[in-house]
């Protein structure tokens, strides 16, 4: 169904949406979408950094002397 829309159909849809919602509402909506995308990218970046930190913590060595380990 969506494969047959083409450029004239997309332009018609854009005009109808513009008439129904107005320019101000659409621009504020796009601003909110942009903020959402930015927040999503920041969350993904923070999550990947957290995973990298966990991996580096797993590679830590135990440097406790052998005689200290026996005391526990």
Please give the residue range of the domain that contains residue 31: 23-54
Q: Is residue 17 part of a domain?
A: no
Place of tokens 């903020």: 35
Q: What is the DSSP string of 7-71?
A: HHHHHHHHHHHHHHHHHHHHHHHHHHHHHHHHHHHHHHHHHHHHHHHHHHHHT------HHHHHH
User: Rounded to the nearest 5°, which phi and psi values hold at 58?
Assistant: -70, -30
Q: Is residue 40 part of a domain?
A: yes
The total domain count for the chain is 1
Give the model confidence (pLDDT) of 11-69 as tens digits. Answer: 999 899 889 888 888 888 889 999 999 999 999 999 888 877 777 666 666 677 777 66
Q: Is residue 43 part of a domain?
A: yes
pTM: 0.51
Place of tokens 């332009």: 11
């Amino acid at each position: 169904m969506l494969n047959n829309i083409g450029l004239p159909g997309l332009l018609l849809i854009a005009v109808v949406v513009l008439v129904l919602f107005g320019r101000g509402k659409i621009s504020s909506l796009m601003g909110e979408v942009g903020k959402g995308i930015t927040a999503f990218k920041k969350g993904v970046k923070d999550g990947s950094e957290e995973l990298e930190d966990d991996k580096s913590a797993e590679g830590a060595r135990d440097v406790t002397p052998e005689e200290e380990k026996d005391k526990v």
